[in-house]
Copies of this chain bind each other. A is one copy, B any other.
Amino acid sequence: MKHLLDIKELNRHQIELLFDLADRLNHQPREQKPLAGRSAIALFFENSTRTLTSFQLACQRLGVDLTALNIAHSSTQKGETLRDTILTLDAMQTDAFIVRHQDNHMQRDMAEWINHRASVINAGDGTNQHPTQGLLDLYTIRQHQGQFEPLSVAIIGDTKHSRVANSLLDGLQIMGTKDIRLFAPDTFVADHQKTFLADSLQSAISEADVVVMLRIQRERLSDQSNLDVEAWAAHYGLNSERLKWAKKEAIVMHPGPMNRGVEITDAVADGPQSVILNQVTNGVLIRQALIHQLLS
């Protein structure tokens, strides 16, 4: 494994090895910097507090020097092509590029352009993939529910515009999860996701072990004006009543940022079944393990 572009490039064994490494790294003293002397460059063409900070802390804990470039002010303004920008940074002999981009598959192009040893890590590309999010979601499920095969997982909300949903759907299948159900308005489900579409919110959530709520990706909607937030909450939001449809020991997940009162109520988000903040904690750890794996 040299790059991580798409979670589908990993098999079940590789994912389990990564999770075992995450477990081990979690118990190492913070003074230890196993990758001291390595460097990485973060290129976020879309803003992100959460993911960028998670990668930054992951790098710090490994001793990897991360340079986060302010891409809005880059040389592309001086007429340079993106390929030349990447080749230039690559020639500085960094060990990894951590890239978020608004276009699907852009990181795959970058991985082909570079000459040196650098690994490319996809930190989200358009509506396609967000593999480290998928991995941290799987890791959180394993932590709370153990084996994947017997689980019922419900994913509710705007899956069409969600690279998070894509990576999670792929990941759950790689791990052998038998029962995966989506629910959202038809226009918020992509064609390749329709095989998982449930008949109703209740049938999606019913007896689920895991309920994953997604926010509406407003920034990806061509027309936001028709969006009725109250109607969304009424038809697709998770509240305490609806959560009772799931198993008693079901966990509630959300990749964040949450729109409280829309796709999830305060009572659920802050309730005892919520593992939303555990996902965030695990995010740093999984990224640590991934970078360790790629750069060692």
Contacts and interface: CB of A to CB of B under 8 A. Distances in A.
Interface of A: 29-33, 36-39, 41, 47-50, 53-54, 56-57, 60-61, 65, 67, 69-71, 73-75, 77-81, 84-85, 87-94, 115, 215, 218-219, 256-260, 262, 277-278, 280-281, 283-284
B73 A260 contact: no
Copies of this chain held together in the complex: 3
B67 A57 contact: yes
A169 to B, nearest CB: 22
A257 B65 contact: no
Most buried by B among A31, A71, A88: A88
Contact of A41 (B53, B75, B258): B53
Contact of A93 (B69, B70, B90, B281): B281
B280 A88 contact: yes
Contacts of A48: 75
B67 A39 contact: no
A93 B49 contact: no
Given A38-B30, A283-B92, A258 B84 contact: yes
Given A39-B60, A56-B67, A284-B93, A256 B30 contact: no
Nearest to A43: B49
B94 A57 contact: yes
